[in-house]
Amino acid sequence: MHTILIKHASVADGTGKDIRTADLLICDGILQEVGTIDAPAAETIDAGGLLAAPAFIDMHTHSDETLLIDKSGASHLRQGVLTQAVGNCGYSAAPMRGRADLRRNIYGYVEADREFGPWENFSDYLTELDAGLYGRAVSYVGHGALRSCVMGYEKRPASAEEIRRMCDLLSACMEQGALGLSSGLEYFPGNAAAREEILALCRVVAKYGGLYATHVRNRDVHYEAGFQEAIDTAYQTGVRLQISHAVPKYGVPAGGAEKVLSWIDRASADIDIAFDVIPYTWGSAVMRSILPPDLLALPVGELTEKLREPSVRDRLYRKKDYFWRLITDRKFEEIRLYDSVHAKEFEGKTFAEIGRILDTDPLYAMLDVLLMEGSEMGSTMMLGHFKSADDLKLMMRHPLASVISDSTALNRNGLLGKLNWAEGCYGWVPELFRSFVLSDPVLTLPEAIRKITMAPADRLGLANTGRLLPGASADLLLLDLQQFAESGRNREYACGVKLLLKGGVPVIRNDEILPVR
């Protein structure tokens, strides 16, 4: 029996209860006791001055491919994040018809130095994902992946027979270990789906007790319809509902966040509903999402040729229904190019600035950047300043809210070192503590920890984790809170994780990732 005794820790147990000083005894990967403990152990650690907490859980990432490239998931692991849920926003790596679909079905696809997939069976993907992984990962089935397997990338509602085939495929994925279904109804191909298609799929998920995580159809001008569709889906199918990154966006009328919370509160009496938020007012998206479905359905070579045609460029200039209202309202000073492959000289600049440099309209500048990226445009990321700080704080306080990164795990070394992707990749947890606990006490520290431990563990159905209670798996960390809260800035690794255990086995000591065993 291998035992570890941690003495004198400041324990935040994940439940939201007050922090207390206690000892923790771990035997063979299980937390046996929390309290005042005087027992022999193979290893004794004095944790005086350190915070003990359950290892953090990010229930919404897009690390579907990056965790295959870098099994350490370094940028997340060094924030104390041991578990990630991938397959979000309707995108998932499996199931997949063929390798050519990788670019379309993986959100933020990266051109890797080896070939992955295709994974026709969901279990094959999970097996490859889990092999050699330093942390843990679970995955949804993406609605877009199901659709592409059955009907390609056509912009039309599915037929009854196609819906039946999608449901059969989803059932197989659930049998093979999927968490549930995710949708990205603001994006193509999700926005081509009729409500009947989503309802049919959610009935399948409900049968298995899975979770439906939805990027709703609209979060700005037509936000009422977008959120109500999600809630109505749960009412009609009995599915457990998770509304992804639920803070309304620029364009929503004043008081929109309060309305959303009132709908959620009312619905929670009858359905299993919760939501999550990102700890930033800026948000990221793949830049190609500005393009309409008929263009996105084209092979990338044809698409780039189309983007050179004056008639197509003029049509996009006059388009009035961009998925970011910032674009429709020409707020290009609030949109930045964040990550690119072939337009590095413009990274960090707003499209108002890029337009001036290229001597063109900012909308044309966006199309020009996509042309520069060519076949890599699927991994080109933009940031938009589209959330109200007051709305974010209001929704973060809500007891049904978890906190997420909506990012991807990166590594400063190797292929992934070239990527920036989103603000949260290297520092979303320090940002949560820094800006919403220490600088502005929107949350207490125990409540902030609950929102990234027990709350997501319960939503994802992760038994015996996300809490420091006897009988739980010893997935826990020791943290120098002050050092940690000041780190993770400017795309640098977080610091202050003195110990991170996965089932009682150290994976980080003093900010150093250890070889996986």
Average pLDDT over residues 177-193: 95
CB-based burial, 224-262: b 16+ in 10 Å, e otherwise: eebbbbbbebbeebbbbbbbbbbbbbbbbeeebbeebbe
* Cis before 506 (ω within 30): no
Q: How confident is the model at residue 191 (pLDDT cuts 50, 70, 90)?
A: very high
pLDDT, tens digit, 9 for 90 and up, residues 420-443: 888 899 999 999 999 999 999 999
Cβ(79)–Cβ(132) under 8 Å?
no
User: What pLDDT score was predicted for residue 420?
Assistant: 86
* Fold agreement between 3-54+464-513 and 56-281+387-460: no
Listed by start position, the domains of the chain span 3-54+464-513, 56-281+387-460, 285-385
Per mean pLDDT, which range of 115-124, 139-148, 454-463 is the poorest? Answer: 115-124
How would DSSP label each residue in 463-484?
TT-SS-STTSB--EEEE-HHHH
Q: 215 phi and psi, to 5 degrees?
A: -85, 105
Q: How confident is the model at residue 517 (pLDDT cuts 50, 70, 90)?
A: low
Collapsing DSSP states into helix, strand and coil, what is residue 407? strand
Output the CA angle 343-344-349, nearest 5 degrees: 90
pLDDT digits (tens, 9 = 90+) for 27-51: 999 999 999 999 999 999 999 999 9
Residue 313 confidence (pLDDT): 96
User: Would you say 406 and 62 are in contact if contact means Cβ atoms under 8 Å apart?
Assistant: yes
1 has pLDDT over 80: no
CB 91 within 8 A of CB 105: yes
Is the domain 3-54+464-513 a CATH 2.30.40.10 member? Answer: yes
Above 70 in pLDDT, residue 221?
Answer: yes
Predicted confidence (pLDDT) at residue 217 exceeds the cutoff of 90:
yes
Task: Please tell me the least confidently modeled range out of 45-54, 240-249, 375-384.
Answer: 375-384
Is pLDDT at 284 greater than 70 in this prediction?
yes
Closest CA relative to residue 404, chosen from 119, 209, 213? 213
Please identify which residue in the block is written with the tokens 């990788």. 102
- pLDDT exceeds 90 at position 52: yes
What percentage of the chain reaches a pLDDT higher than 90?
87
- Predicted confidence (pLDDT) at residue 364 exceeds the cutoff of 90: yes
CB 371 within 8 A of CB 306: no
Mean pLDDT within 177-194: 95
For the segment 53-63, what is each residue's pLDDT rounded down to a tens digit?
Answer: 999 999 999 99
Alpha helices in 70-194 (DSSP H): 74-77, 102-105, 122-130, 143-151, 160-175
What pLDDT is attached to residue 16?
A: 98
Least confident of 78-82, 89-93, 331-335, 416-420: 416-420
For the ranges 70-74, 103-107, 289-293, 321-325, the one whose mean pLDDT is highest: 70-74
Structurally, at CATH architecture level, domain 56-281+387-460 sits in Alpha-Beta Barrel (3.20)
pLDDT for residue 241 is more than 70? yes
Q: Would you say residue 233 has pLDDT above 90?
A: yes
Contact (CB, 8 A) for 142 and 85: no
Split at pLDDT 50, 70, 90, the class of 137 is very high
User: Per-residue confidence at 515, pLDDT binned at 50, 70, 90?
Assistant: confident
In the block, tokens 């009496």 appear at 269
Distance CA 198, CA 204 (A): 10
